[in-house]
Every structure is written in C-alpha cells, then in structure tokens.
Chains A and B, each alone.
Chain A
Amino acid sequence: MVSSPSPLSAAAASLPLGQRLTPDQLTSINAHLDQLLLALYALTDLSQATWQNALRQVEGWELASADASINRLGHPQGLQAKAVNQLDLNGIRALVAMISYLTQHYQELLRRAVTLVEQTTAQRKDPFQTILLGDYRQKLRHLDQSYRAKHPQAVANLTDERALSLLMELLFYSSQEGARRLWGVLLITAQTLVYEASPG
C-alpha cells in the first residue's frame, strides 16, 4: 500500500519529463546534482536522521526505480561510493525533491552563508576568512577530492567561485518552488550541451 505522497513528492511528481535525455545529458545532470549535494553536505554536516527524513518524503512515491536509485545513495557519506550515471530520470526527479527538502530544512543556514558572502564582498574582504565559509570551503575541497578519486569522469575541480555559486544556487532551491526551479535548470543545462564528434 502506498501512502499519499507528501506535498513535496506531489510537486516533484508534477515535474514534466520533457523530451528524452541522452546518456550524456543524464551524465551532466547527475554531475550537477552531485555538486549540489557535496556543497550542501560541506556546509551543513548533514545528519543521517535528516537524510532519512528526506528519503521518507519520496518513499511514499510510487516509483520503484526512484526508490532503488535513491537507496543506492544512502547517507551523503555514501555519495563518494555512488557511481555517476546510476540515476535514471525517475531517480533524478526523486533526488530533486530530496534536495529541495534538504535546502528548505537548512534555509536559514544557507541564507546566513549567502549574506556573509555579500557583506564580505562589499567590504572587499575574502569571504573564506570567515569561519563559516572557511570551514565550508575546506570541507568541500576534501569531499570533492574523495569524490573525484572514485569518479575520474567527474567534473573539474570545484573552484572557489564555484563553491560560492553553489551556495547561491542552494538558497534559491530552498524556496517553495525550489524543486520545480531545479528541475527546470537541469533541463536547460542538458539542452544547452553540444556534442562535438570525437577526432579521428
């Protein structure tokens, strides 16, 4: 018996599938979501209990593939063991719902971090000189190194500018329409990719 989906699940369930995505587009989307999760974990030190609550938000959702995909993620620490491209479209949609839930849960901290970046930037200071952002960058670098060690095809190193940009993105995904906004961004990102024929 499937319980009625939570409002978050209902919002994610209404996300349009859009056109069929190619494997490369799926790879790009997976990588994007991994970056968001890494940044979220680096900033918040995501607890197992919170992660399980996020999983329960989509567990009532009758998507067997999504369950299997998300269960492979486990705790964010297991993110390092997750292989890229393992999530199919339904799994991606479920993960979008989870990210939306987690960012809403940590919205206050995200806002605090973004405000700190704005203030230090306006004062022409290094944002990473603050304790919150300095710890965030250090942890993100460590997580990114571990992640890329197991996923050689992963994206390039996360620069400091990208680290700050991820905070801004997570903040916008923490709104009421965050899941739909993230889904739209993923589709736009996938559609803007161009594939050049490999040489030879």
Chain B
Amino acid sequence: MKLVRDSLLQRYTPPTCTLELWQVRPIWQPSPKTLPTDYHFALHFDDPRLAEDQQTTVTGTPSQLEALAQTVEDYVQTQLSRAFCPPPQGTATQRTVIEKPTQPNPLPPEGSNFALTPHSPFSHQLKVVPGDGVTAPSQAIALTTSQLFDLTTALTQFRLQVAASDSSATTDGTWGFWRWSTLALTSLVAIGVTGAILRQWQPGNEVVDQGISPLPGQGQFQFQPVMPAIPPPPRPTTASPTLAPPLALRDPLPPPATVVQASPPPRNPNVALVLPPERILPPTLTVPPGPDQTQMTIPASLPLSPLVPPDEPLPQGQTQPMENRQDDNAPSLASPSSLAPPPQVQTTALMSTSRRPLPPRSENLLDTIPQVAEVRQFYQRQWQPEVSQTPTLEYRLKISPDGQVQRTVPLGKAASLYLAQLPMPNAGDPLVSPLTHGQTETIRLVLTPMGEVKAFLED
C-alpha cells in the first residue's frame, strides 16, 4: 500500500497549454494552504492535432519554473521592444536605432536550462536542456505566438499566485493553527450534541405518559385503506452533482456527437410512384367438420384494413416547439376563411385523425427561441469544415439583447485552435434578431467534422 502519493496542488489552463504543480506527500497529510517549496511542475503543450504520445511535456523543480518564467518574460519583452519602428527620417535630428537585432542563440545561457528564439515573426522555438531536475524532449519546442501568449499567461498566473501566497503565509501561519483547533473542537461538540439528541428520540425509549395503555386493546387500531405509494413530485431544480477537485480542474470533454437519424434520400422524380398492392386477405377459414361435429365457420368480423402504424406518443419536450410553432402560425390562423371544421373522428380501431402530425425528427426540437434557429441557419450557410478538422467544435455564444454576439467562448482546445476560422458577421452587425425579453442569452454552437451544425439554448 502506498503511503505517499503525488497530489495536484494547482493547475493553470490557458487554451493551448497546461501548467500543473504537483507535490509528493503522505496520504494522510491534508492539502497545504499555501504553495509549498517541495513541489514539481509539469508543463504540457496541448495540441489536439497530435496524438497523446506526441504531446510535449516539460517537468522540473520550482527554481526551474521560475527560471522558465523569467526567460519567457524577458524574451517577450525583447521581441515587443524590437517590433516598434524607428522614428521617421527627414527631421532636423537624425535618429537611428543602435540596438541591432542579435543573432538568436539557440542554446540556453549559462546557468539556465531554457532558451527562446524567434523562428519567424509569428513562430518561436523553446529549447530546453534536460538536467538539474528538468526533463523535456530533445528537440526544440515550436510555439506559435498564441501558444507563447498562453504560456506567458500561465506563468503570470503562477507568479501572481506565488506572490499572493507569500504575502498571506506570514499572517496565516500562527493564528491559522488556533483557527483549525477551534474548528475541530466545535465540530466534536456538535457531533456529541447531535448524538445525544438522536438518542433522546430513539423509538425504544419510554414515551411521555399520554394516557395510552402499554398494550394495544382490541379495536384500538383502525386500519385505513392502504393507498398506493405516490412518488413525490419531481423537484423543479435538480441538484447538480459536483466533481471532485481534481476532476473539476480538468477541461470538460466535449459532449459526444448525437446520433442523428439519417434522412431517406430524396425521391427521384423520374421514377413513378408505385403503390404497394393492398393486402391480400386470407380466405375464410373453414374447418372441415369432424365426424361428429357440426360445421363451423370463422366469420371475418374484424375489418382488416391496411395496417397503419399507430401514432407514436409525443416524447417529452416535443410539445414546446409545437407550441412555439403554433404561436408563430397564429396570425395565419386568425382569418376565419382558413378555419376548417375539425375532422370527423373515425371509429376505425387503428386510425386516429385527432392527433396532430408529428414534427420531423431534426434539430428543430432544440429551437426554444427563434434566435437558436437563426444561429444554426447562419452557420449552416457559412461553416465549411477543413479536411484536417477531426474533433467536433463547440462554442458558447453570448448574444446581447440587440442580437449581436457579445462574446464567443471556445470549449476545448480544438475549438480554440479553430476559433479564427469561425464565421462571424461583420463588426457591428447582429448575428440574430433582437431578443424579445431584453436579456443576454447563451447559445451553444456545435460544429461537426461532417459539416453538421447544431445549436441550442443554454440555461
């Protein structure tokens, strides 16, 4: 049995990389309130286009992490300062930039395991020299500018947390002990009091005298008719389960693509419709008479008509879109001339015309508001998946009351990578019609590699 385990202390998850801080400690030891000094880090460069075994990971000690953060920040600062163009010529005083760009040194400087060099204006290379507690792939790690930005974001968050942890560690160190002691003592007292109360209400105890004889007499009990147990009504809001902290820190997986029933191919208009022949009714059965029995015939009393599958019961949630659709069609039904008398209810056993036709099985069921359909239609026209796109992309669109896209949140690493290719309306133009209730709505957009587009309203 392992007495120690590698516990996750902190995780920073910008879109294209993950920085994790781990600590090996005994299993009975609780999580530290401040960042300890004996942790180790793991920096994963996430790329959904690569296989799991091809993902790049760098591990090391706290000092190496600090060195990496400093190296990255210095590199970014240098690159940004070099990007600025020199002042214009032709002025009274000639100005030139004296700092010529130095040749990039691919090797880390002495005393450091990390070196960042520009490969092109929008690509960079991170060279990590293994050793001194650092493990990394031998080849240089290629980073795009957005990946470098995410790396700086993770390292900045790490540094800010370390700074905050250091400032609070001194104040929490002494009186924190007393706080936990008080809390533990209070918990023990509460448990003891609760146990005492429960023992007080045990059914085996003597009841306060209420004038009831200890032994039941005849006729004392009145048997009530036992009603079937009615389950309690469902709660309007279901409790949302919470994930364990390690699971909660992980990026949520995209939901699996729903299975859409394939629609039948369109009918070729050149092919004539051929109706199936009516059922050939079996001949009337006649039982040959037995030697001592009278002749019997089985009358065809049941009207055998072509079988019509019974209407499927409306599934849950299907009434709402029908109501919406009904509301949308309300103006067209207002004219008296369009009103038709209700159809006569047939008495045929297998046919029913009182039910409305079922809506087709499509994503229309998810159009709780018209804007959802508008979003889906917009992207159905615009979205063209690339050949290299393998995963399903999901985005969370924040729609402002005027119908404009307030914010687009990519869900998952793949969505972040393809965010730039996501079609969007022109700046200032709304994506959908204005919302009727004047509140911001959130619409989930799902784009499959096969070009399928789904949209639904999020709560």
Which A positions have Cβ atoms within 8 angstroms of B?
24, 27-28, 31-32, 35, 44-45, 108, 111-119, 121, 132, 135, 153-156, 161-162, 164-166, 168-169, 171-172, 175-177, 181, 184-185, 188-189, 192-198
Contact B146–A114 (Cβ < 8 Å): yes
Cβ-defined contact, B146 with A196, below 8 A: no
A53 to chain B minimum Cβ distance, whole angstroms, is 15
Which residues from chain B contact A196 at a C-beta distance below 8 Å? 93-96
A198 touches which of B77, B92, B121 (Cβ 8 Å): B92
Q: List 10 extra interface pairs beyond A31-B87, A155-B88, CB under 8 A.
A: A35-B85, A119-B420, A132-B420, A168-B83, A181-B80, A189-B84, A193-B97, A193-B98, A195-B95, A198-B94
Bound state CA distance, A188 and B420, in angstroms? 32
- Tell yes or no: B145 within 8 A of A by CB: yes
Asked whether A169 lies within 8 Å of B83 as measured between CB atoms, the reply is yes
Which of B39-47, B151-159, B313-321 sits within the interface?
A: B151-159
A181 to B144, CA, bound (A): 20
B residues in contact (CB < 8 Å) with A:
76-77, 80-81, 83-89, 91-99, 120-123, 144-146, 149, 152-153, 156-157, 160, 407-408, 417, 419-422, 424, 426-428
Nearest first, the 6 A-B pairs at minimum CB distance are A116-B420, A115-B420, A188-B81, A194-B98, A192-B99, A196-B94
Number of A-B contacts (CB under 8 A): 125
Contact partner of A115 (CB less than 8 A), chosen from B81, B87, B417, is B417
Given A118-B122, A155-B85, A177-B156 in contact, is the A192-B149 Cβ separation under 8 Å?
Answer: no
Given A114-B145, A194-B96: A175 in contact with B152 (beta carbons within 8 A) = yes
Distance from B406 Cβ to chain A, minimum over Cβ atoms (Å):
10
With A44-B427, A176-B156 in contact, is A108–B420 under 8 Å at CB? no
Question: Would you give the shortest CB distance from B153 to chain A, in whole angstroms?
Answer: 6
Report the Cα distance A195→B95, complex, angstroms: 5
Among A118, A162, A164, A171, the one with the most B-chain Cβ atoms within 10 Å of its Cβ is A118
**A153-B91 contact, Cβ under 8 Å, with A112-B419, A189-B84:** yes
Please name all residues of chain B whose beta carbon is closer than 8 Å to the beta carbon of A197 when the two chains form the complex: 93
Determine the distance from Cα of A35 to Cα of B80 in the docked complex, in whole angstroms. Answer: 13
Interface SS of chain B: mixed
Are A156 and B122 in contact, CB atoms less than 8 angstroms apart?
no
| Cα-based distance from A198 to B95 in the complex (angstroms) | 9
Given contacts A112-B419, A161-B121, A189-B84, contact A118 B97 (CB under 8 A): no
B97 touches A192 (CB 8 A): yes
Contact A168 B145 (CB under 8 A): yes
Taking a contact as CB atoms closer than 8 A, the residue among B88, B97, B145 that contacts A156 in the complex is: B88
Given A162-B85, A192-B97, A111–B91 Cβ distance below 8 Å?
no
A115 to B420, CA, bound (A): 6
**Residues on the B chain within 8 Å of A132, using CB:** 420, 424
Sample (21) of A-B pairs whose CB atoms are under 8 Å apart = A24-B93, A27-B87, A35-B84, A112-B422, A114-B122, A115-B420, A116-B420, A116-B421, A121-B122, A155-B88, A156-B88, A156-B89, A171-B146, A181-B80, A185-B77, A185-B80, A189-B81, A192-B97, A192-B99, A194-B96, A196-B93
- B422 to chain A minimum Cβ distance, whole angstroms, is 8
Contact indicator B427/A192 (Cβ below 8 Å): no
Determine the residue in chain B with the shortest Cβ distance to A130: B420
